[in-house]
Amino acid sequence: MKKNSLQNRLRQSQMNLFYIPALVLFSVFVIYPFIKGIFISTTNWNGYSQNYKSVGIKNYLRLFTDKNVRTALINTLIYGFGSTLIQNALGLALALFLNEKFRGRSVLRAIIYMPVMIAPLIMGYIMYFLFSYNRGALNDIVMLFGGEAVDWMANGPRAVMLMTLVNALQFVGISMVIYLAGLQNIPAMYYEAAALDGVKPFAQFRYITLPLLHPAVTSAVTVNLIGGLKLYDIISALTSGGPGYASHSLSTLVHRTYFGAENAGYASAIGLFTFLLIMVISSIVTRILAAKEVEVS
């Protein structure tokens, strides 16, 4: 017995050696840049010069007083939670619909999933032609009904809302697929039993479908939330963070501060703050949802 256990442990330790390549990659491309980023955030480095000096925690203190960071933080939360809400509500509705058997459902599933395969930057440029003031498709429709052309992206809060919607609609296919998988894992006998007992469809959804979909909700919410909180490409293509700083997310602000304003030290501080924000929010949300899963099970 003891010999077997020793052999198992030896075999396990041999297998562990195969983690080394992944660990090396992770160290070189994630851990080292992360540590270097912390160091840079305490300097006034402009991002390219060989000369810089330490400024201590000045960059971190500036985070609390910078109104552009405040705007970007609020926008980031809107991008994150707004997208998650829309993607999950719509994704679940689509999954429920496309879980039914009807002709053409596979084609419909593919069409809804298709935008996921388009690079977000490309999607942003496509949407730019939709929202453009001059000859934008949306304004053409508005004017067809006698309305006046609107400069959709000229207003910061409106631009944020529209980009949240664009992001949500592009990636709703991911939520739909996760929920479809979840729905197909629910045994049909539960519904059959409920139907025999005369349970109405809405009650079936509330007391059978939703509780048993909890693992899928956890996955979909986490994936959508992280994606939304680090939104970059669509903003870059549609508004470049403008007008001014009005539609920046923290991710685009990092890029602008690093390369545009040549303030790599401060950009690193914003980057670190963004990392912590996403980590804290996603772990809180995951914990809350995981706790619900336990309750359900």
Partner 1 sequence: MKKILCLLLALVMVMGMFAACGDTDETPATNAPVSDETKAADDATEAQVGSNSDVVLTFMTNVVGEKATALEAAIRDFEAETGYTVEFSAPGDSYEELMKTKMASNELPDVFTTHGWSVARYSEYLMPVNDMDFASRISDQIKPVITDAEGNMYVLPIDIDIAGMVYNVDVLESCGINVDDLTTWEAFADACAVIEAAGIDPMHIGGKDTWTIGQFFDWVAPSFYVTDEANSKAADLKAGTFDTAVWTELCQMLYDWTEAGYFNTDVLTADYSSDIEALATGTTAFCFYGNYAISDAMVVNADANLGMMPIPSNSADDEPTLIAGEDIAIGIWKDTAYSAEAQELLEYLARPEVCAKIAEAAGNAAGLTDVTVDLGVIQTYLDKYNTVETFAYFDREYLPSGMWDVMCSTGAEILALNSGSVEDAASVMEQSFMDKYVG
The binding site for partner 1 (CB under 8 A) comprises 10, 13-15, 17-18, 20-21, 24-25, 46-50, 131-134, 151-154, 239-240, 242-246, 256, 259-263
CB of 229 to partner 1, least distance (A): 23
154/193 with CB nearer partner 1: 154
Cα gap 139→234, rounded to integer Å: 20
| Nearest-approach distance from CB 127 to partner 1, in angstroms | 12
Integer Cα distance of 261 and 109 in angstroms = 44
- The residue ranges of DSSP E strands in the chain, in sequence order, are none
Closer by beta carbon to partner 1, 61 or else 110: 61
- DSSP labels, 235-269: HHHHTTT-STTTT--HHHHHHIIIIIS--HHHHHH
- Residue 90 Cβ vs partner 1, minimum distance, rounded to whole Å: 27
- Separation CA 215–CA 119 (nearest Å): 28
For 259, residues 6+ apart whose C-beta sits below 8 A from its C-beta are 47
Note whether 127 and 170 are within 8 A (CB).
no
- In angstroms, the CA 193 to CA 40 distance is 62
Q: Which is nearer to partner 1, 76 or 257 (CB)?
A: 257
* Alpha-carbon span 276 to 271, nearest angstrom: 9
- B/e letters for 18-39, b = 16+ CB within 10 Å, e = fewer, are eeeeeeeeeeeeeeeeeeebee
Complex with partner 1: residue 14 or 106, whichever CB lies closer: 14
The nearest distance, CB 47 to partner 1, in angstroms, is 5
Q: Which is nearer to partner 1, 115 or 243 (CB)?
A: 243
Q: Which is nearer to partner 1, 9 or 206 (CB)?
A: 9
Shortest CB 63 distance to partner 1, Å:
16
Q: How far is the CB of 154 from partner 1 (least distance, A)?
A: 5
CB atoms within 10 A of CB 52: 14
